[in-house]
Amino acid sequence: MAGSKDASTMLSRFARIAAGAGLALVLAAQPATLTAGSAPDPQRLHQPRTDCHVAYDRLINDLDKGAAISADEEAWARAHENASNAPAPCPAPPQPLLDKAVNHVISTPDGLKIARRFIDRQKDASAMLEVGLSVYSGFFSDLPKSQGLDLIRASATGGDPMGMYMYGTLLAQGGYGTKDIKGGVRMMEQAAAAGHVDAMHRAGIYYHEGVGVKKDEKKAFDLFRQAAERGHVYSTIMAFTMISEGRGTKKDFDLAYRLSRSMAEQGEVYGAVMAASSLLQSKDAMKYETEVLYWMDHAIRNGDDSIRSQMTPLRTQAAAIYSRPAAPPRDYRPRPFKACPMKTVCTVNHYSGLRSCTTNKDYWNDCDG
């Protein structure tokens, strides 16, 4: 019986340390000037907006500024123009051009003309979104912003995942007049079902807070977990917090650790904080001593002043429980995991045929992480 009592006392001590490590998460909800070791930005978007239409406009924009373009880019631009006339889906742009065009907004008359041709001749929903965003943003002052809003709506009803996300966001924020949060969230959920990562997170926030929709923590957790699976940093924090508190899901600290470790491997220091907290809250906390201290050391070494000030005393407490020196050499390593396969999740525009993909480790198929 004495051994059982000692184990219970040990677990309660670990739980107190884990709760202390969890305090760092409070900072994630506070506005701050972000540094490499501070809280992740909750407004950061994880799914870039890029397609053939903005790539073409970016190329025209570069030409207008006298920049040289490659032979591949010139050949692609001609093929893109021909596809708009054919009509045919636009060809995939060269990857370097596509990368340059991330979150670009159509701003040239030629870019507008060709994108409109894709709309007029083949009802290209992706082109509708790009022209809609351009007009709504005021790049063409002779066109009313209401026309931009109409095109964004048409893009969503036409099946473009990014269009659904943008339309849902505008609905919820009152971009079409009175706020329609329920309609906006429904549209975000459609975008999420089509694989849009930021839509998963944003819809999850609405269900988590119960703003404009009935509060549903189970649904919120499911959306956060889906986004976390695809690398969404703030959804990982939300999912971890809900696991730790047993809200919307069971307290599965193996899952919490996989989420946290994945986030830490993206270079986010908060992932290390959460990884240590997950292990300390697990039933086998004693056997994970080197990993707990590794992640604490990682957070202290790479975190900002807020993280260091919280983690340093907790690290001393953990070392004492593990009967480790207060400041041992930093030679700890996380336990080796069996390699998880990589999982690529893509969204495909029904009209242009272009794919937007994210690739992350597939932690959800019972591999060790």
Give per-residue pLDDT as tens, 153-176.
Answer: 999 999 999 999 999 999 999 999
Say if residue 59 is in the same domain as residue 165.
Answer: yes
pLDDT of residue 229: 86
When mean pLDDT is compared across 198-202, 262-266, 358-362, the lowest value belongs to: 358-362
> Looking at 321, 340, 358, which one is the last position of a domain?
321
The answer on pLDDT for 274 being more than 70 is yes
- Proportion of the chain above pLDDT 90, given as a percent: 60
The answer on pLDDT for 223 being more than 50 is yes
Note whether residue 338 is domain-resident.
no
> Looking at 300, 321, 342, which one is the last position of a domain?
321
Residue 284 — pLDDT band, cuts 50, 70, 90?
A: confident
Helices (H) and strands (E) in the chain, counts: 16, 2
Residue 267 — pLDDT band, cuts 50, 70, 90?
A: confident
pLDDT of residue 360: 59
Across 14-36, average pLDDT = 48
Note whether residue 69 is domain-resident.
yes
Say if residue 147 is in the same domain as residue 238.
Answer: no
pLDDT of residue 355: 55
pLDDT of residue 339: 58
Mean pLDDT, the chain, whole residue set: 84
* Higher pLDDT pick, 4 / 300: 300
Say if residue 78 is in the same domain as residue 158.
Answer: yes
Please tell me the total count of domains within the chain.
2
Beta bridge partners of 344: 359
Helix (H, G, I), strand (E, B) or coil at 309: helix
Say if residue 163 is in the same domain as residue 245.
Answer: no
Say if residue 39 is in the same domain as residue 125.
Answer: no
Note whether residue 24 is domain-resident.
yes
| Cα–Cα distance measured from residue 68 to residue 65, given in angstroms and rounded to the nearest whole number | 9
Give per-residue pLDDT as tens, 288-346.
Answer: 888 888 999 999 999 888 888 888 888 888 888 887 655 554 555 666 655 566 666 66
The answer on pLDDT for 250 being more than 70 is yes
Residue-range definition of the domain harbouring residue 124 = 52-179
The answer on pLDDT for 11 being more than 70 is no
Note whether residue 356 is domain-resident.
no
Say if residue 31 is in the same domain as residue 143.
Answer: no
> Looking at 321, 340, 360, which one is the last position of a domain?
321
The answer on pLDDT for 17 being more than 60 is yes
Dihedral sign, CA of 258, 262, 263, 269? positive
Q: 242 is written with which tokens? A: 């809900």
Q: 217 is written with which tokens? A: 């923590």
H or E element, residue 27: none
Note whether residue 207 is domain-resident.
no
The count of other CB atoms within 10 Å of the CB of residue 57 is: 25
pLDDT of residue 21: 58
Note whether residue 326 is domain-resident.
no
Say if residue 9 is in the same domain as residue 73.
Answer: no
